[in-house]
Structure formats: C-alpha cells, structure tokens
C-alpha cells in the first residue's frame, strides 16, 4: 500500500484487487514523512482493513469521458485552441519568399551520390509541431498525474503546439516595414538581450525602420515620450547592462488609444515584452487591430521574473534571478552559521508564485525552511514554524529560512491596495516572520540572533546570465520570424526544450503556480527536511 503525498489531502491507496473494490478518500493534514502522520495513516489503514482504491477527483471536469468520441473531440478542440491567428484571417494577402537566407550559413546536405539536395531549406514548416506534454502516466496516482492525465484510465493524448522559427514565405515587405519594441511591467534580467536580438533579426530581414517605445504602454500616449530609433549600432552593447534600454512602467493606457497611436505611427510589427498583464494588453491590442482590419502583427515575448506564465519551461531572467538570490542566501547563511543561535531569513520575489524561492532553496542547499504562497503554513503552536525553528536551533545551532513575498498572506493584514496595473500590493511577509521569530525567542527566553536580508530589487536589476542570454536570443529571433510569417496575437516560448509559438490567451488564462503535489516541491521538502506546518 502506498501513501499519496498531498500536503492537504492524503489518500490511502491500495492495489486494486478483482472483486474487492472499495474506495475511500480521507483527509489528513500532514505530510507523509512526519511520524504522527504515519501513525494516523497506520491507524486508519487498520480501521479500513480492506484493500482500498484511490478515488481521484476527476482532474478534467471539462471532458465528458462517457462520450466514446471524447478523445477526438478533445484533440479537435485543442488544435483550434492552439491555432495561431494569422493576418490572412482578416486580409487577403499573398506571401512572398523570405529574404532570411539559411543556405549561406551552412553547406546544403548532399544525398548518397553527393548531389546537393535542393529540397533542403532549413526553414520551419507551418505544419511542424512540438509536443507540449511528454510524460505518459501509467496511473492517475502517479506523481504529477492528477493534473495532467485524462480520464479514469489516464489516457495519453497528444497535445501539439506550433514550432517556432523562420518560414520560407513571409507576409511583409521588409523595406516597407516599421517595427516597434516596447517593454512593460517590472524589470527582468535579459530585457536588453531580447531588444538587441529583435533589432539584429529585423536588420537581417532588411528592416531599416525600427523604433523603441519608451516606458511601456505609457510611451504610446504620454506626451514628451518620443520614439527611440533603433539599429544594430544603437543596440550593439545594451546586453552588457541590466534593466531596459527603453524603460518600463506599470499601469495606464486605454487599448483604443494605444491602437490609435499604432495607426498614427504606421507601425506594422509590434514586439511587446512583458508578463501576464502586458500579454493581456497585447491580446486586447491584437483584437482591436483585427477589428479595425489593420495589417499589424502583435508579438509577445514573455517576461516574468516570477516564472508565472503557463505552459513554458521557464521565462527569461528567472535563472539569473535564482542565481542572484543565491548570493543573498549565502550571506544570510554565513551570518547565521557564525552567530550563536543564528537565524538567517531571506525574502525573495514572488507575488503569487513561489518558483524563485523554491529554486533558490533547492539550488543553495542551505535552506531549512522554504515558504511559498501556494503552501499555507502555521507559525505558532504545535507543528508550527516557530516550534520547528526551536528544534533546529537546538539540534544544529542555527536555521535558514527562505520566504517568497506572497507566502502566508492569509496571516497578514490585507491592505486591499493595488499598484498602477491593478496588481495587489502585498503586506511584507518577510518583516512579519522576522518580528514573529524575534518576539517568540524573547518570550521563551532563548537567545536568537536573526539576520534578515531582502534582496528583492537586486535579483532583477542585473544583466542576464549565460543560459538566460541564450534563451533571450532565441525568443527574440523567433518573435521576428513569427511577425514576418504573418502571425499576430502570439507569444514566443520554450516547451520541453523546443521553441514554440503559442496563442496569447492560452498562456495567460491563469498565473502559473508551484503545484504542491509536484515532484519539484517534494524534492524541495526532501532537501530542506521541513515538515508541513499545519
């Protein structure tokens, strides 16, 4: 018999025995590796005294599995959902051969007789696809299967998405194109790398009229924010610095006004770098352009340091942010280790997604407790965070905590305030935990030396590391290929290491969050050794 490891609702799972089907679904509020949980588990297992079968809540409530054609229907619907909007949907335009030459950069492959294969061209075919999901789950109880598999038998369904890259035929005359780039939302390492690659690639296609829109969407309507002319020469070295060469901003803007401005400036291609909010704006701009039947390609490049965009392996800048966070964690660790009863506390970004905190905790190997927004925790009382800290101080002499800014918000006073973009302004989780710890150790009369580090803006105000720089390069280049191929309302991403185009609505239907049932979160728990604090 195995124990499913869901921190909120653990289930008893037994192999199915013919003729003895019995199922139960029991909620136990603790993790499997806690002793009391195991005792509870053993007790209830005894009470059940029969083999039990897991009863999963159907992971796909949107599908009627009793319909014999559900698979075909799902796949049909999938293809429609992931179809890329194209300017020929609204305008009758004929394509022309792409000037983006691939043959010059390599020898054309030869066949077995040594003759050049004329059919080779190195372009991506519009019918090329990449698989979004690559795991075939044997059972709905397999780790990670609950949210991924289809139906009671955990069927395999191919979920294809469009491959990104240069097409053989293009829908714009490069010499006539005016292309614009805008960076919105907060900063993120790699913005300049993406701007630079977009300009380089446009230049190779033969586009001469390239401009930057300053300070996000604001640059479309605020007086005095003139366009910045961009060229290979202008952007040559911008990747050496962090930030955005064009400036960023949150808030403001009315979609109709932005599209008026796009029309007035005669922009044909708009590359929009930003997160969930920015992409919601990009989608609205794309729809308004369609409504007005404009020949404009709106292409997104996902920028989010929180890594909270759906379907992608990761977004650019995230890797760099984690690496920067490690510096803060290491400093806190040195302080904590060197102090008598030292406690190191590091707060990292992550409004609603704990990816930075989770990855930084995992990669540092120095964290005893990782707290993220997706996993509720208790601070006081039995099984609470403070009790665990007491134990750590007693057993190893010091303790290290990494907390995401959005963690434990339910414990804090809500301000109901929002920023200019409408994002909630959160209460400071780091300061809250810092005060709780200080007060607690004072109250119990145990000396504790707490050092709190908040490197929030340091992790994003830096230049991209090597792996992010490559990701930015590919995403930036693919954005331009997507625009020339005539797509609009799409974004450029990486899925299962393959570069793809995705329709914007599919990636912003919800923020991507850490799944507390995922192998990655369980690996983090294994690494930190923390119990669940409930």
Ligand X SMILES: Nc1ncnc2c1ncn2[C@@H]1O[C@H](COP(=O)(O)OP(=O)(O)O)[C@@H](O)[C@H]1O
Using CB under 6 A as the binding rule, whether residue 489 contacts ligand FBP is answered as no
Q: Is 165 annotated as a binding residue?
A: no
Using CB under 5 A as the binding rule, whether residue 277 contacts Mg ion is answered as yes
198: part of which helix (H) or strand (E)?
Answer: helix 191-205
Q: What is the DSSP string of 8-62?
A: S---EE----TT---B------S-TTSHHHHHHHHHHHHHH-S--B--PPPS-TT
Which of the listed partners (ligand X, Mg ion, ligand FBP, none) does 216 bind, with a CB threshold of 5 to 8 Å by partner kind? ligand X
Which of the listed partners (ligand FBP, Mg ion, ligand X, none) does 373 bind, with a CB threshold of 5 to 8 Å by partner kind? none
The residue within the footprint of ligand X, chosen from 59, 122, 151, 251 (CB under 6 A), is 251
Q: With respect to ligand FBP, which residue has the nearer C-beta, 292 or 351?
A: 351
Q: Is 186 annotated as a binding residue?
A: yes
Q: Which residues pair with 213 in a beta bridge?
A: 182
User: Which residue sits closest to ligand FBP, CB atoms considered?
Assistant: 275
- Count of positions on this chain that bind Mg ion (CB under 5 A): 3
Whole-angstrom Cα distance, residue 425 to residue 93? 46
Contacts of 434 (CB under 8 A, 6+ apart): 345, 450, 452
Using CB under 6 A as the binding rule, whether residue 272 contacts ligand FBP is answered as no
Using CB under 6 A as the binding rule, whether residue 275 contacts ligand X is answered as yes
Contacts of 457 (CB under 8 A, 6+ apart): none
The residue within the footprint of ligand FBP, chosen from 85, 186, 300, 482 (CB under 6 A), is 186
Least separation in angstroms between residue 533's CB and ligand X is 30
First-to-final CA distance of the chain: 25
| CA trace torsion 118, 119, 123, 127 (10° rounding) | 170
Whole-angstrom Cα distance, residue 277 to residue 300? 12
What is the β-pairing status of strands 297-302 and 269-274? Answer: parallel
Question: Is 115 part of the annotated catalytic residue set?
Answer: no
Whole-angstrom Cα distance, residue 190 to residue 203? 20
Q: With respect to ligand FBP, which residue has the nearer C-beta, 67 or 419?
A: 419
Tell me 506's DSSP state: H
Please name the residue ranges forming H helices in 161-267.
191-205, 232-235, 255-265
Least separation in angstroms between residue 44's CB and Mg ion is 42
Whole-angstrom Cα distance, residue 433 to residue 309? 28
| 136: number of Cβ within 10 Å | 11
Whole-angstrom Cα distance, residue 311 to residue 509? 11
Using CB under 6 A as the binding rule, whether residue 250 contacts ligand X is answered as yes
255 in helix, strand or coil?
helix
Using CB under 6 A as the binding rule, whether residue 306 contacts ligand FBP is answered as yes
The residue within the footprint of ligand X, chosen from 75, 142, 423, 518 (CB under 6 A), is 423
Please name the residue ranges forming H helices in 456-507.
466-484, 504-507
Q: Which of 514, 476, 422 is nearest to 302 (CA)?
A: 476
The residue within the footprint of Mg ion, chosen from 275, 344, 406, 489 (CB under 5 A), is 275
| 96: number of Cβ within 10 Å | 12
Q: Is 397 annotated as a binding residue?
A: no
Which of the listed partners (ligand X, Mg ion, ligand FBP, none) does 350 bind, with a CB threshold of 5 to 8 Å by partner kind? ligand FBP
Q: Is 304 annotated as a binding residue?
A: yes
Q: Is 410 annotated as a binding residue?
A: no
The residue within the footprint of ligand FBP, chosen from 351, 378, 438, 498 (CB under 6 A), is 351
| The one catalytic residue among 306, 308, 468, 532 | 306
Tell me 172's DSSP state: S
Using CB under 6 A as the binding rule, whether residue 307 contacts ligand X is answered as no
Site mask for ligand FBP (CB under 6 A), range 395-414, x = bound: ----------x---------
Residues 313, 281, 126, 296, CA torsion sign: negative
Q: Which residue has the tokens 């930057």?
A: 212
CA angle at 107 for the pair 236 and 100, rounded to the nearest 5°: 45
The residue within the footprint of ligand X, chosen from 59, 95, 122, 252 (CB under 6 A), is 252
What is the β-pairing status of strands 209-213 and 228-230? Answer: antiparallel
Q: With respect to Mg ion, which residue has the nearer C-beta, 436 or 512?
A: 512
Which of the listed partners (ligand FBP, Mg ion, ligand X, none) does 284 bind, with a CB threshold of 5 to 8 Å by partner kind? ligand X
Site mask for ligand X (CB under 6 A), range 205-224, x = bound: -----------xx-------
Least separation in angstroms between residue 265's CB and Mg ion is 26
Whole-angstrom Cα distance, residue 228 to residue 241? 18
Q: Is 459 annotated as a binding residue?
A: yes
Q: With respect to ligand FBP, which residue has the nearer C-beta, 85 or 281?
A: 281
Binding annotation: 186, 250-251, 275-278, 304-306, 349-351, 405, 457-460
Chain contacts with ligand FBP (rule: CB under 6 A): 185-186, 188, 275, 304-306, 308, 349-351, 405, 419
Binding annotation for substrate: 304-306, 349-351, 405, 457-460
Chain contacts with ligand X (rule: CB under 6 A): 184-186, 216-217, 250-253, 274-278, 280-281, 284, 304, 421, 423
State the catalytic residues.
306
């Amino acid at each position: 018999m195995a124990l499913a490891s869901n921190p909120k609702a653990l289930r008893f799972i037994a192999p199915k025995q013919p003729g003895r089907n019995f199922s139960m679904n029991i909620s136990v509020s603790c993790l499997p590796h806690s002793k009391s949980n195991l005792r509870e588990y053993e007790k209830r297992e005894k009470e059940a005294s029969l083999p039990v079968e897991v009863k999963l809540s159907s992971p796909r409530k949107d599908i009627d599995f009793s319909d014999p054609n559900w698979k075909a229907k799902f796949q049909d619907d999938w293809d429609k959902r992931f179809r890329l909007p194209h300017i020929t949907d609204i305008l009758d335009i004929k394509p022309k051969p792409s000037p983006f030459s691939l043959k010059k950069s390599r020898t054309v492959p030869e066949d077995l007789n040594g003759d050049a294969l004329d059919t080779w061209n190195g372009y991506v075919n519009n019918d090329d696809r990449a698989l979004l999901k690559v795991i075939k789950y044997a059972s709905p109880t397999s780790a990670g299967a609950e949210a991924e598999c289809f139906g009671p038998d955990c069927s395999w369904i191919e979920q294809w998405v469009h491959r990104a890259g240069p097409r053989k035929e293009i829908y714009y005359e490069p010499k006539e194109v005016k292309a614009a780039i805008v960076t919105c939302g907060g900063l993120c390492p790699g913005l300049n790398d993406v701007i630079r690659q977009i300009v380089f690639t446009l230049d190779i296609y033969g586009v001469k009229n390239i401009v930057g829109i300053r300070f996000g969407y604001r640059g479309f309507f605020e007086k005095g924010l003139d366009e910045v002319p961009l060229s290979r020469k202008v952007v040559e070295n911008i990747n050496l610095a962090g930030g955005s060469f064009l400036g960023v901003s949150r808030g403001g803007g009315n979609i109709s006004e932005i599209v008026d401005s796009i029309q007035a400036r005669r922009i044909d291609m708009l590359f929009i770098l930003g997160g969930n909010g920015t992409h919601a704006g990009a989608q609205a701009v794309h729809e308004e352009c369609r409504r007005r039947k404009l020949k404009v390609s709106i292409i997104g490049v996902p920028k989010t340091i929180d890594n909270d965009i759906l379907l992608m392996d990761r977004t650019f800048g995230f890797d760099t942010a984690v690496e920067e966070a490690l510096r803060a964690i290491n400093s806190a660790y040195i302080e904590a280790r060197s102090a008598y009863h030292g406690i190191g506390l590091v707060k990292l970004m992550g409004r609603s997604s704990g990816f930075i905190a989770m990855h930084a905790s995992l990669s540092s190997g120095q964290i005893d407790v990782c707290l993220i927004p997706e996993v509720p925790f208790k601070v006081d009382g039995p099984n609470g965070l403070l009790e665990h800290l007491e134990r750590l101080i007693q057993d190893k002499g010091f303790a290290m905590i990494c907390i995401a800014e959005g963690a434990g918000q339910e414990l804090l006073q809500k301000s109901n305030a929002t920023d200019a973009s409408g994002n909630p302004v959160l209460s400071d989780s780091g300061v809250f935990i810092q005060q709780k710890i200080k007060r607690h150790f004072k109250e119990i009369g145990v000396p504790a030396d707490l050092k709190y580090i908040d490197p929030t803006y340091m992790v994003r105000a830096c230049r991209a590391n090597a792996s992010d720089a490559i990701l930015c390069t590919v995403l930036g280049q693919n954005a331009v290929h997507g625009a020339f191929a005539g797509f609009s309302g799409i974004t450029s991403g990486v899925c299962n290491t393959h570069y793809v185009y995705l329709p914007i609505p599919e990636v912003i239907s919800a923020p991507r969050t850490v799944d507390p049932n995922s192998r990655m979160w369980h690996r983090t728990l294994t690494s930190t050794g923390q119990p669940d604090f409930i």
